[in-house]
Structure 1
Amino acid sequence: MYWARLKTGIHYAALTLLSVMMVFPYIWMFMTSVKAKDKLYSGSIFPSTFHFENYFRVFTETKMLLYLWNSIYVSVIIIVFQIVSAILAAYVFAAIKKKWVQFCFVLILATYMLPAAITYIPSFIVLSKADLLDTHLGYIFSEAISIFAIFFLRQAFVQMPKEVVHAAKLDGAGHLRLIFTVYIPYSKNAIASLVLITFIYSYNNYMWPSLLIKSEENMFVTIGLRRLFMSQAGYGMDFPLAMAACAVSLLPMFILLAVSSKKIIHSMANLYVNK
């Protein structure tokens, strides 16, 4: 009994230490964001007075609201395209057992093993010829299909009880009816988690949008933050303003994770379960 309690205490202590290490950068960011600029190097992590006006300056002295709007609405559109395409493709790969279908699934998964940077040059050339550079439409078009989303939903669809599928087919259900009345309701938790994962990925994406988007009115949060840091590079940089902007940009992510963390963990835990 004593050793069991000691082992449990060590586990909790290790988890607490790791949690503090992970949370500390966010605490430092918030404390810096409410400091006065001349007190930034005072040697204390906690400010003597809290300057919450730095957060008001984020919206009055920068275009953070525009960046947030661009990131959120583009991410929502990408979610719609990726979820619809993933549902249709996942149904084919999960319900049709022909060899050529499974070969196509393996081939698609093989492309997922390639680094994303390999696709940047051909995608850039295609969008350039279509005159879609520096546009939200071009970025949405390039992110409309996700191999991860297809694989994620396929793993959820293969867990569908065969008895339910056979009963629906005996009732005269075709492919579309099976998708909308059987597969989607059964996998609604996985789809909800995929929506959140896709939003987080799209919202935080930086490398490809930074190559594609150049005009300020089309910039996303990730590019806007970099622009803010670059515009104030040097010793005169307003770090409290920059940290306040970072904190504001993270707010949608914190809200999503607080609301749906258990759902994401549950779906990811069942990702590789194949009954």
Structure 2
Amino acid sequence: MTSDVLTAATRRRAHRRRTTLTWLNTAAVAGVALIFTFPFLWMFLTALKPANEVFSGSALGSEVRWRNFTDAWTLVPFGRFIANGFFVAVAGAALSVVVAVLSAYAFSRLRFRYRDRLFLLYVATLVLPQEVLVVPLFIMMNEAGYVDTYAALIVPFAFTAFGTFLMRQFFLTIPVEYEEAARIDGASRVRTLWSVLLPQLRAPLSVLGVFSFIGYWNSYLWPLIVINTQDKATVPLGLTMFTGEHGTQWNLVMAASTIAVVPSLFIVVLLQRQLMKGVSMGGFGGR
């Protein structure tokens, strides 16, 4: 009897301990989430303020001005900027995924001389900041006649080593026996890549696609250099047009920024399951 009482008391203490740890973990996660979402909440609340109350220090203005969003949309051709940015981001993400898959397959599955050394040299390009690359890239685009074109916005930064490195590590986690079985059945390398390997990499491909989309969507320096007209300007360039000789219309900037966040947020929510799966797979193991 005494032993049963002690066992029950031990279980109650363990249950209380687990409950306490659960609450502490939940509170910690909620605190971190609040820290990361606070700038977006402040941006949204600022977008609803009158222009003369943006820097008032209070979270809410004297009135809620939903028309700030309408003004931000119509004062400049912001719809055009959204369309340009979406086209560039989708096309750039698609091209980045294709380039990363093909190059990662070559570096992980094909056997050729100096393969590993070339891969290390390719990955070493990640240490180069964008500011170093924009001048030679602009000269190349200018010589090719691609300045102020969508091609100039999309092509140069689709050939980066990050996607190749990421996808190569995932390729290395797939046993080569799958490919050997496919080749025994008469499948070519292209068919093996398309039908055997890629179906197992949907989650990593989603991760790379989302990262690439957000990178293109938020890019500012390169579009600023290579784009000369409003017709092909993207969202970051459009946000600068709310600044004039009389100052910056911060309430409209915040309204436009809130609108600009929606596409990225929508894609992340849409692919949330694949993103979580891709991150949990841990593509940095490799061999």
TM more than 0.5: yes
Matched residue, 2:261: 250
Between the aligned partners of 1:249 and 1:84, the Cα distance in structure 2 is 26
Matched residue, 2:165: 151
Report the residue type matching 1:175 in the other structure.
R
Between the aligned partners of 1:178 and 1:242, the Cα distance in structure 2 is 49
Query: Is the partner of 1:143 in helix, strand or coil?
Result: helix
Between the aligned partners of 2:270 and 2:246, the Cα distance in structure 1 is 36
Q: Deviations over 1:79-126 (max 9, x none)?
A: 232222222111111112445222221221122232232211211111
**With structure 1 as the length reference, what TM-score do the two structures score?**
0.89
Report the residue type matching 2:140 in the other structure.
V
Report the residue type matching 2:227 in the other structure.
I
Between the aligned partners of 1:44 and 1:116, the Cα distance in structure 2 is 38
- Give the share of equivalent positions with the same residue, in percent: 26
CA RMSD after TM alignment: 2.2
Q: Deviations over 1:149-193 (max 9, x none)?
A: 111211121222222111101111221111111111221221122
CA contact (8 A) 2:51 2:251 kept: yes
Aligned pairs (5 A) from 1:1-275: 1=14, 5-228=19-242, 230-231=243-244, 234=247, 237-269=248-280, 270-274=282-286
What are structure 2's unaligned runs of at least 5 residues?
1-13
Report the residue type matching 2:263 in the other structure.
P
CA contact (8 A) 1:79 1:198 kept: yes
Between the aligned partners of 2:52 and 2:241, the Cα distance in structure 1 is 23
Instruction: Kindly name which structure, 1 or 2, has the bigger radius of gyration based on alpha carbons.
Output: 2
Query: Is the partner of 1:167 in helix, strand or coil?
Result: helix
Alignment size in residue pairs: 272
Deviation at 1:273, TM superposition (A): 2.4
Moved more, 25-34 or 154-163: 154-163
Deviation at 1:8, TM superposition (A): 4.3
Moved more, 244-253 or 119-128: 119-128
**With structure 2 as the length reference, what TM-score do the two structures score?**
0.86
CA contact (8 A) 2:50 2:65 kept: yes
Moved more, 134-143 or 37-46: 37-46
Deviation at 1:78, TM superposition (A): 1.4
Between the aligned partners of 1:34 and 1:225, the Cα distance in structure 2 is 17
Q: Deviations over 1:247-272 (max 9, x none)?
A: 01111111122222342243234121
Q: 1:109 to 1:238 in 2, by over 3 A?
A: closer
What are structure 1's unaligned runs of at least 5 residues?
none
Moved more, 252-261 or 11-20: 11-20
Between the aligned partners of 1:72 and 1:43, the Cα distance in structure 2 is 34
